[in-house]
Chains A and B, each alone.
Chain A
Amino acid sequence: MSILNIFSQVEISHYIYLSTVLFCIGLFGVLFRRNAIILLMCIELMLNAVNLLFTAFSSYMGDSDGQIFVFFIMVVAAAEAAVGLAILVLVYRNTRSTDVSFLDQLKG
């Protein structure tokens, strides 16, 4: 039994709006910030917004496939964070900064 019978009181659209707002906050962070570590954190925020939406749909429809997908997204996010932070350490070692605006060497 759940603590609160959320399904009778909250519509799925409220979860859609909540995840959309979270996703857009993450997108704003990716566009606005320059610190590479904060960019990675904003990507995690966007992934979590999608996870929340997957779980909401899965629970409302009574189908556990969505929750399996959330599990896989978490796995991929963990791998992405590990490789991304390793790249970040490498960038810091070369440029002595994590500012992404310095990474314009390929522009020519």
Chain B
Amino acid sequence: MMQNLPIPFLVLSFLTILSALYVVTSKNPVHSVLALIFTFFTISAHYVLLNAQFLAIVNLIVYAGAIMVLFLFVLMLLNLSKETEPVKSNWWGISAAITAGCLLLIITAAFQVSGEAVAKNPVEGIGLVKALGKVLFTRFVVPFELTGILFLASMVGAVLLGKREKGNDALISKEELNG
């Protein structure tokens, strides 16, 4: 089953899974963020292999560029780059591994039973900006506009949450004075 696969697909898949495992198991959060950025790069390479060029670029810009920089920024802001996480007991890890393994087993078995339900019908150029833009601005124009409202709401929410309240500040300083 594995022998007939092309080398680029195999190498990319192994790199993706290894770096994803490193994200989960690394003790240092900064190493986790960097491994996650590497995972996003390999997933973008998968998109290029799948003829989804627009998504490959957007994945790099939005995920590896914007979101992960936000994560790194928060890590630096909270000064969490030290290995401060307390070690959990072994039972916790074993039960988490069993749960995730059960899900893996169930999904794999479900796909084994359902078999090959997808007809191969690749069309040249559906992943390019021109084709996707036409679909996005005709059939999906209402959801596209709604995402604008979602972004506005999340922006207002993030600013509101991040704002330091004056009453809260006074409370903290009073506690600090007493303590």
Contacts and interface: CB of A to CB of B under 8 A. Distances in A.
Interface of A: 1-4, 6-7, 9-14, 16-18, 20-29, 31-35, 37-38, 40-42, 44-45, 48, 51-52, 55-65, 67-68, 70-72, 74-83, 85-90, 92, 98-99
B contact face: mostly helix, strand, loop, or mixed: helix
Contact of B150 (A2, A14, A75): A75
B92 A79 contact: no
Interface of B: 4-6, 8-9, 13, 16-17, 20-21, 23-24, 29, 32-33, 36, 39-40, 43, 46-52, 54-55, 58-59, 62-63, 66-67, 70-71, 74-75, 77-78, 80, 85-86, 88, 92-93, 95-97, 99-101, 103-104, 107-108, 111, 116, 118-124, 126-127, 131-132, 135-136, 140, 143, 147, 150-151, 153-155, 157-159, 161-162
Contacts of B74: 37, 85, 88-89
Nearest to B134: A64
A34 B17 contact: no
Given A37-B74, A44-B67, A89-B74, A4 B49 contact: yes
Nearest to B54: A67
